[in-house]
Structure 1
Amino acid sequence: MPTTRTATAADLDAMRAFEREFVGHDVSPETFSERFDQYPELFVLVEATGDSYGSGGELLGAASGYADGPAVDDDTVVLAAIGVRNGHEGNGLGRALLEAFEAGAREYGDAVSVAAADNVVGFYRACGYEPSCILVQVPETDLPADYASHGDLVDERSADGTRFLYYDFDEYHPSLRDGLANRLGGTANTILGKEL
């Protein structure tokens, strides 16, 4: 039986490697460690039980986040990464991780926000999350001059040569996200949120 628990400092290297491999989330070791030091309840994992005490098991999934930074509203916690090892999907591990993350998030805020790729929007919606806006990331050098006219642009920021554009909508549909990404020549995610 898998065990879901809050991570310890000893878990950080394995969690960071897991998130890089299975989620594509790659932050520096320093940033990962700083976030853990500041928000330890937002680092959770699920592992295969190694013995009757639930220790020493294989890392099957991980989730991490933070409660400050760019584009973070007051009282909103960001789920930066969540993932389950290949071959273990569909067994409730992702939902268990998300519930554990949300429990930790209550220490820092009253809502959770996540930027989701198109293949996981359904998972978040099934867990009570609602789409709130579309985030399009475009390299500054490729940004069309008329980017603001492609939708209801509500916010933007720049970092490391990338423009982050936040578009609102009246009613969400994946074709909105895909259309914005295509017209702007960038990649898009759906930002979803949930009140805790």
Structure 2
Amino acid sequence: MGEEEEAAKYGAKPGYAKYEDLNKNGEIDPDDRQILGSSEPDFTWSLSNTLKYKDFSLFVLLYGVSGSTKANPFKDKTYLINHNFWTVDNPTNEYWSTEKNANKYIANKSISPSSYESADFMRIKDVTLTYTLPTRIVTKMGLSKLAVYFTGKNLLTVTGWEGMDPEFDTQRAIPVSREYSFGINLAF
């Protein structure tokens, strides 16, 4: 059976999103839903370490999530992102057509597909490099301690997620930004 005939059975056209009739009753209904994963991660982890050499110290914090699957609204045609959409000249199965209602099940327009993907990630959450001046120099200044430091936060996120930030529950939030700071820590 061709695409036209198969699509016509559901009141659709070629290139429209396809739904699987899991219970084989001839219609797409709530009984055709299936669990594709969990938005709650299997585990959340972090790893930190401080390396010291003479008067220098380097603190690194890694943070990550594994085993999380989420709907990614940025894969819907309503967002202006370059996708390989289905057209008559490009009959791909990567994304459905951009035609109006192509992503809705025709018999029940309230049913829309979601694109789910892994929301696993690893982030370099914090890196701090500190130099503590030697005590002999600091005491001449009338201080008991003097250290200078440079910190970078959220420096790199490694993920296969194609949205803004895999850690968000909604993709409408402001993504975490990189932060850099320089500081002086002194004690009298």
TM bucket (normalised to shorter chain) is: under 0.3
Q: How does the TM-score come out when normalised to structure 1?
A: 0.23
Of Structure 1 and Structure 2, the greater helix share is in: 1
Larger Cα Rg: Structure 1 or Structure 2? 2
Q: How does the TM-score come out when normalised to structure 2?
A: 0.23
